[in-house]
Copies of this chain bind each other. A is one copy, B any other.
Amino acid sequence: MAQLRIALAQTNPTVGDLDGNADKLVAWTRRAADRGAHLAVFTEMFLTGYPVEDLVLRTSFVDASIAAIEEVALRLDREGLGDLPVVVGYVDRAGLAPRVGQPKGAPLDAAALLHRGRVVARTAKHHLPNYGVFDEYRYFVRGDRLPIFRLHGVDVAVAVCEDLWQDGGPVAVVGQAGAGLLVVPNASPYEKEKDDIRLELCARRAREAGSALVYVNQVGGQDELVFDGDSLVVDARGELVARAAQFREELLVCDLDLPVSSAGTGSFPYDAGDGTTITVDRLVLSDDPLPAYEPEPPSVAEPLDTVAEVYEALVLSVRDYVAKNGFESVILGLSGGIDSALTATIAADAIGPSRVHVVLMPSRYSSEHSLSDAQDLVRRQGLRAQVVPIAEIVTSFEKEIELSGLASENLQARVRGMILMGLSNQHGHLVLTTGNKSELATGYSTLYGDSAGGFAPIKDVPKLMVWELSRWRNAGGDPSFRLQVDEPIPPNSITKEPSAELRPDQRDTDSLPPYEVLDKLLDDYVEKDMGSRELIAAGHDPALVARVIRLVDLAEYKRRQYPPGPKITPKNFGRDRRLPITNRWRETT
């Protein structure tokens, strides 16, 4: 057996910021060297950030990524870090002839091994995910090479992210070819309670590959995704050895005892067990095991419980959306209800209360406690607040056009949306919307009204979870939050009955079933794609099933209304060309 100290760089890159990410690569490699590491492993596409979406179809962007990986290898060497091998993700290209349907330029979701100023090995993701939030058949072609490099006597293989999730492919080939360690750069988005699945997966794949496994995951918010880190190391039997924290950057250092190899070098084809052939490229950096040294005790972070985990995800996503998109401040409407109270609190935790601007917009239907609960929250947190009554603006519309019922309720929501957008345009604040998942799913929201805004922190949070998060936050929070006050949310906002207050004495339960019933049904219908018969068989009330399906489908229809329009050229805006929202790469630079 031979010892190796691996440094897992659980970092937060920014999409398109090739220079900034390269700076971070150098800084974190230095930290790894200072900790005595023998190998540093960064995340998937760390150098470009992930996901880069349609940027990858731009020739100039792929050129820039390839140039950047060569340059950073040289720079590491110049800065005295060349002897520490670094595995890092970037974008490369396969050099295939163009054909119909192949992404322009045949890009690869690649990883490189940097050593002594050179890129000494390259690989690329073999299994391309194209489900859930992933559209990678649109962006990449599959890799078909697996590097295995000898480091101080130990054979180290490199695979990328999805290659762990699918049967066959690189992991199966590691099992045949043999390696002491498999390192895997990832950009695996956070999902509620995904940490449990991830550990089980890594353990299973380690046993299948017959090698220890190092899983390094991105952390940070990126557009509508948030990455939780949770990097980990398991041994060849699948036992957890070390684990990083969730939702923060961390250099996780881990000492491993690994088998020594004396396999030859060269390139060898293997049947990947998925109908393809993968070529193993064997090379040697150093054959001799290290002299024995005292290992550091392994660091094993405790995973967060579910509510804490979700709250941390929301805070991080707001913080990074604001920072990575260059905003200084946010603005939102504060109604006195729990959704806007929680959204404001998350924002204050993310960027500090002095950068959170709130607007109280009472109407003729606002109850007394609405304004007083909102003012109570402003006082508790020290937010920047202003009051803009909407009654006279609403009246000015009603003088020109006759509106009643729902059209009149929507008008009030839209006047509020216009006030926020106007202040945003005037002062440069990012507008946060405050709708939760239960009401967005059922269409309990006004197009161009309360849904108007730049970021929707709780759009994926069901109403019951909104209350849970609020109670969790009032009970404590986290020392890293920028807002440090006790009980930041007015208890009355948590306990009172929810209402949109768009007509006299309105209650959510006038239009919707109780949230205890609704949230479960929405989860089964929307997340699990169950049909009506399945839903009824699962115990949901048949009349309610019919009603909620109608609400959800109608709401989805309305959300999709704009921007459809006919297609007359091969691409059109809104669907085909999809640049990341946060993107620091500029075509003109």
Contact = CB atoms under 8 A, between A and B. Distances in A.
Interface stretch (A69-77, A117-125, A187-195): A187-195
A380 B402 CA distance: 28
11 contacts: A100-B166, A130-B138, A133-B576, A135-B135, A191-B570, A403-B425, A406-B425, A410-B422, A456-B562, A459-B574, A553-B587
Nearest to A582: B557
Nearest to A57: B529
A229 interface: no
Given A61-B531, A460-B569, A587-B531, A562 B454 contact: yes
A509 interface: no
A304 interface: no
A448 B459 contact: no
Given A565-B317, A565-B457, A574 B559 contact: yes
B559 A563 contact: yes
A529, A564, A565 interface centre (most CB from chain B within 10 Å): A565
Contacts of A452: 447-448, 562
A559 B565 CA distance: 15
Contact of A410 (B310, B318, B421, B566): B421
Interface stretch (A251-259, A334-342, A391-399, A490-498): A391-399
Contacts of A399: 392
B167 A99 contact: yes
A315 to B, nearest CB: 9
A567 B99 contact: no
Interchain residue pairs A-B with the least CB separation, the first 3: A60-B531, A317-B566, A407-B425
A35 interface: no
A139 B226 CA distance: 25
A573 B400 contact: no
A60 B533 CA distance: 8
Interface stretch (A17-25, A205-213, A294-302, A411-419): A411-419
A243 to B, nearest CB: 21
A189 B567 contact: yes
Nearest to A575: B133
Contact of A565 (B127, B460, B527): B460
B418 A568 contact: no
A190 B549 CA distance: 32
Interface in A199-231: 221, 223-226
A526 B317 contact: no
Copies of this chain, tallied across the complex: 2
A401 to B, nearest CB: 6
Contacts of A550: 588
Given A58-B529, A101-B165, 19 more contacts: A99-B167, A100-B166, A133-B572, A221-B566, A225-B567, A397-B418, A410-B422, A414-B418, A437-B573, A440-B563, A451-B563, A455-B564, A460-B569, A549-B587, A550-B588, A553-B586, A556-B578, A556-B579, A560-B579
A321, A400, A578 interface centre (most CB from chain B within 10 Å): A400
A184 B427 CA distance: 57
A313 interface: yes
B568 A310 contact: yes
A566 B393 contact: no
A534 B573 contact: no
A246 interface: no
Contacts of A526: 571, 573, 577
A561 interface: yes
A59 B224 contact: no
